Amino acid sequence: MATSSNNKEVFLKLLSIVSSDEIVSLIKNDDFFQSENCSWKPYGGRELNAPQIEGQMKSSSNALVEKLTNSTDALLMRRCYEVEGVAPESGNTKLPKTLLEAITKYFGTDEEINRKRSEWAKQHLVILAEGDKKKPTITIVDRGEGQLPERIQDTIVGLSESIKEKINFVFGKYHQGGSAAIRFCGSPSKCFQLVLSRRAESIAGKGNDNQWGFTLVRRNYKNRIAYYEYCTDKDGKTFSFPYDKPIKIDGAEIEFVDGCLIRLYDYYLENPSNITYGRNSLALDIDQKLQRSPLPIFLHELRAGYRGDTKYTIAGLLRRMEDNKEIISDDITLPAGLGEIGTRSIRCIRLKHINDAKGVESYKLQREKIFYVENGLALGYEFDTFVRSDCQLPALAPYLHCYIDMSDIRVDLANIFHSGREELARTEDYQILKERLKKFFENEIFEKWNKEYEDKSLASANEDNKELDKLIEKAIVDDPELKELLGIGEEIKIPKGKDKEKEKYIGEDFPKKFEYVGNQPKEVDRSSYALVSFHTEAKDNLLTRKKDRFQIQWSSSQVFDVVLRGMKNGIISLRIDCRESAKTGDEDRMTFTLTDQVGKVKFEQTIGLKAIETPPYEGFEFPTYFEPQKESLKIPPKTTRKFAFASDVTNDYFSRDNNAGRIEFEERQDLQLKRFRLNDGILEVTFYSPIEKLGAREDVKLSIIDTADHRFDFSIPFEIVPPEESSRLNEPKRNYVSEVNWPAYSWNENDISSVDSSRTQGGLTVNLNVDSKPLKELKKTVGVEKVENAVNKYIADTYIYSLYLYFELKNDPEKDRILGSAMRAIGKALPGMIRKIV
C-alpha cells in the first residue's frame, strides 16, 4: 500500500529520470506500480480520448506554447486571488477587464517587468531541456496558482472543465491545449508525462492540508486502439505527500514551493538542438508565437556540448524588435475593413534595409510576416509569399512585419482560427479576409516602400556585367514572342529634355480642413469599388510621420468595407468596396474622423454611400465612331505594338454572321497587322515591324467598314524608334540570391530561380540562385579561362527560361511551385549543354 513517504520517493525517482526507457523499467520493477498498489484511470474520464488529445496540435512546439499559455494564466489567477481576494471567474466588477490591465495591475508596467525580466522569469516560469540530444526531456515549471491533489484529476488531467471563458483577462481562451503535448513524448509504446502540483500557499486557505499531488500520464492500447491514462492510488485518489521543503530541480534556480511542474520525457522537437540558440531554436519559435509574451519565460539548455548561449529569456519577437529601435525604419498603425471580421487595426513595422543596418538579417529571413494576434499571442499568420506574390511587393516582403489585432473578434467568426494555431481554417470568411488584405496592401505607402527597397536591392545586381547584358538583350530582341509577352515596345514616354517642373506640393504641418470631395450618396459598384477623398491641405506624411502623426478612422458598416489608399498633395484617399452580402440599392452612412497624435478628434465628416450595379457593356449594333487613343504609332525594330481605338459598338461586331465589320489594311514590307481584339468599346490592333531602319515612315492607312455602309478611314503617323527608348526599361530585373539568403526564398542548393511580379517596378524580377549546385558544378568542369562566359550563359539561359515559364503559368494558382520544379530540372540540364558551346 502506498504511503506518503513512498509517494515522495517515487516522485523524486520520476523527477530524476530523463528517458522513457527508464520510466518503462521503473514501472516494471518498482512495487509502487504493481496492480495491487495503483490504478490507471482514463485521461479526462474518457477511454476514447486519443482523437481529442492528438487532434489538437500538429506541431510539438505549438503544443509547448499551449502549456506556457496555461502557465501564464495560472500566474495571473494566483495574483488575482492574492490581490483581489476573489476568484477570477467570480465576475466581480473590480477585476481587470483585459489582459494588459491585469498584467499592469498584478505584475507592473512593461518597463518595470523588462527591468527585471530574466531574474523574475528564473523564479516564476522556467523551461529546462536535458537528456537525449535528439529527443530532450522538457520540464516546464511555474509558480502559478497550483492545484490541491484532489483537484488535479479535474483540472490538469481533465478534458472538459474550463472556467477561462468566464474570465476577461486570461491569456488563452480558444483552446484546451493542456493535453496536446503528451502525444509528442517518447514513442507510440513509450509515451510519458509527469505532473506535480501544489496549491499556492498564499491562496490555499487556512487549516488546509496543502500537500503536493502528482501523477504519471502514459499512452496505452486496448484492442489496438490508443488511449491516454494517468496513475492513481488503489482507491483512485491522486498520489500526494506533505510539503516540508522546496522541491530541488536540477539546473533550475527557481524556489519551487508551490505551483505546477510538467515533465515531458523524450520530447520530439522539429529542431532538437540547443533550445536557446540558433535560427531554428525552440526559443525563436516561442518568441515568434508569443509576439509580446505577457510575462517573461526563462529557458535553460542543460545538455552538454552545444555552442552558443544556453540561457535565454523569452520576451516575444515583437517586443524584441521594439527594444531594437535602430533596426526599425517605420512603425505605423492603419485601419482596414476586412469583411465580416470588421475594421481592424493593422500595425506595420518596416525594418531598415540590410544595407543600412546591422541586426536585420534574422528578422528578414523569417518567413512568417503577417500575424493575427490576440493579446500578443499569434493565432495565425501569412507567409512572406503572400506579401511577395499575392500583394506584389517582393522587395518589401522580407522587411515587413504586420500585426492584425483580433482581440475582440466575434465568437461566431473565431472558427477562422484552428485550435492548434498552426494554420487558418479555409473558410469563406478567411478567403474574404485575404482578398481584403490584398486591397489593404495596395496602399501608396507600401508601394513607395517597395520601390525604395527595389532600388536598393537591385542596383548592384543589374550593373557591371556588360557581357551578360548583351546576352540577355540579344535573346530578347531576337525573340518577338518573348518581347510581346514582356510588353517590350509598349510606348513608354522618354523625356527628350527637361520637362517643365511642376510646382512641388509642400502642405501645412497640420490639417486645415477635412473636406469631402464629391457628391452624396457616393455610389459604389458591387463589381468594382469607389474612391472617397478628403482635402486636408496638410503634408503628405501626415499619417506616417514619427512625430505628431494623425490617424484616420471610420465607423463600422454592415454594407461597406474601407481601406486607406494613400495621401497625395494633401488629399487623403480611401477605397470603398461592397461586402459580399451587399445588395444593389443598399445604403449606409459612414462617419470618417481625423484624430491627432493623442487621439483627439480634430475633424469629422459623415458620407452617404449606396451600392449600385453597373449594367454590363452592350454597345450599338453599328458604330457611330472609332476614335484613336494615340496620335501616332511608334514601334522599335522587330517588335509588336498595340494601337487602340475607342468605340460604341457591340463586342461581336467583327465576329457575327450578319452585317459584320472588317478591317482593311494593305500589307507593307515595313509593317504587318498581326491581330485585333474588340472588347467593351475598345478595339486593340496589334502591329509588327520586321525592319530595323529607324525613322519616320509612310502613314498607316487603315479602314473599318461593314455591309451597312459604315466606314471609318484613318491615316496614322508611323515611326520606327530605337529599342533603347522602350525595351531596356521594360526588361525584367535580375536579383542574385546567394546561399545566405536561401531561407528567405525557402530554397536549397537544387533550386534555380523564381519570378516576382511587382506593382511598383512596373514589371518582373527574376530571382537567380547564384550558389546553386548545377552552377557550382559548371564552374568546376570548364577551364578557368571559360568560367566567366559559361556563368554568363548559364544565368542568361536561366533568366529566359524562367520568363517563358512564368508567362505560361502566370494564371495558375500553383505557378510558383510548378515553375520552381521545372527550373530545377532545366538547371540540371544546362551545364551539359553550355559546356559544348563555350
Predicted confidence (pLDDT) per residue in 241-266, tens digit: 999 999 999 888 888 999 999 999 99
* Window from 208-212, 491-495, 525-529, 611-615 with minimum mean pLDDT: 491-495
Please indicate, yes or no, whether residues 111 and 219 belong to a single structural domain of this protein: yes
Please indicate, yes or no, whether residues 787 and 703 belong to a single structural domain of this protein: no
Q: What is the mean pLDDT of the chain?
A: 88
368-374 vs 343-351, strand pairing mode = unpaired
Please indicate, yes or no, whether residues 108 and 40 belong to a single structural domain of this protein: yes
Give mean pLDDT, residues 117-122.
94
Cβ neighbours of residue 631 closer than 8 Å, sequence gap 6 or more: 717
Please indicate, yes or no, whether residues 742 and 831 belong to a single structural domain of this protein: yes
What integer pLDDT is reported at residue 460 of this predicted model?
56
On the question of pLDDT at 384 being above 70, the answer is yes
What integer pLDDT is reported at residue 729 of this predicted model?
46
Is 808 inside any structural domain? yes
On the question of pLDDT at 359 being above 90, the answer is no
Where a domain ends, among 437, 455, 473?
455
The answer to whether the CB of 181 falls within 8 A of the CB of 267 is yes
Supply the CATH number for residue 422's domain: 3.30.230
pLDDT tens per residue, range 48-77: 889 888 877 788 998 999 899 999 999 999
What integer pLDDT is reported at residue 165 of this predicted model?
72
Please indicate, yes or no, whether residues 189 and 298 belong to a single structural domain of this protein: yes
Give mean pLDDT, residues 766-778.
94
What integer pLDDT is reported at residue 170 of this predicted model?
83
Q: How far apart are CA 135 and CA 132, in angstroms?
A: 5
What integer pLDDT is reported at residue 424 of this predicted model?
63
Give mean pLDDT, residues 601-607.
96
Please indicate, yes or no, whether residues 286 and 359 belong to a single structural domain of this protein: no
733-737 vs 763-769, strand pairing mode = parallel
Is 471 inside any structural domain? no
Is 317 inside any structural domain? no
Write out the residue range of the structural domain in which residue 637 sits: 626-725
What integer pLDDT is reported at residue 680 of this predicted model?
92
On the question of pLDDT at 779 being above 50, the answer is yes
Is 399 inside any structural domain? yes
What integer pLDDT is reported at residue 485 of this predicted model?
66
Please indicate, yes or no, whether residues 165 and 303 belong to a single structural domain of this protein: yes
Percent of the chain with pLDDT over 70: 91
Q: Residue written as cell 457593356?
A: 617
pLDDT tens per residue, range 613-642: 988 888 999 999 999 999 999 998 888 889
Distances (CA, A) of 61 to 125, 280, 284, 319: 17, 11, 10, 20
Higher pLDDT, 47 or 713: 713
Is 651 inside any structural domain? yes
Q: How far apart are CA 341 and CA 560, in angstroms?
A: 12
What integer pLDDT is reported at residue 499 of this predicted model?
44
Give mean pLDDT, residues 275-301.
91
Count of domains for the chain: 5
Q: How far apart are CA 613 and CA 609, in angstroms?
A: 13
Give mean pLDDT, residues 337-361.
91
Adjacency order of strands within the sheet including 587-595: 522-525, 601-612, 587-595, 551-554
Is 280 inside any structural domain? yes
Residue 185, beta-bridge partner list? 267
Where a domain ends, among 281, 311, 341?
311
Is 469 inside any structural domain? no
Please indicate, yes or no, whether residues 118 and 259 belong to a single structural domain of this protein: yes
Is 556 inside any structural domain? yes
Give mean pLDDT, residues 347-370.
91
pTM: 0.80
**pLDDT confidence tier of residue 180, bands split at 50, 70 and 90:** confident
What integer pLDDT is reported at residue 492 of this predicted model?
36
Please indicate, yes or no, whether residues 248 and 350 belong to a single structural domain of this protein: no
Please indicate, yes or no, whether residues 802 and 820 belong to a single structural domain of this protein: yes
Where a domain ends, among 551, 586, 612?
612
* Omega within 30 of 0 (cis) for the link into 521: yes
Q: Which long-range contacts (CB under 8 A, 24 or more apart) does 455-463 make?
A: 456/353, 456/355, 456/356, 456/395, 457/353, 457/395, 457/735, 458/395, 458/733, 458/734, 458/735, 458/765, 461/733, 461/734, 461/735, 461/736, 462/733, 462/734
Please indicate, yes or no, whether residues 29 and 52 belong to a single structural domain of this protein: yes
On the question of pLDDT at 700 being above 50, the answer is yes
Please indicate, yes or no, whether residues 213 and 261 belong to a single structural domain of this protein: yes
On the question of pLDDT at 374 being above 70, the answer is yes
* Window from 79-83, 311-315, 346-350, 726-730 with minimum mean pLDDT: 726-730
Cell of 548: 505628431
Q: How far apart are CA 491 and CA 187, in angstroms?
A: 66
Q: How far apart are CA 643 and CA 704, in angstroms?
A: 14
pLDDT tens per residue, range 497-538: 444 456 788 999 999 999 998 899 999 999 899 999 999 999
On the question of pLDDT at 411 being above 80, the answer is no
Cell of 496: 527628350
* Window from 14-28, 221-235, 688-702, 713-727 with minimum mean pLDDT: 713-727
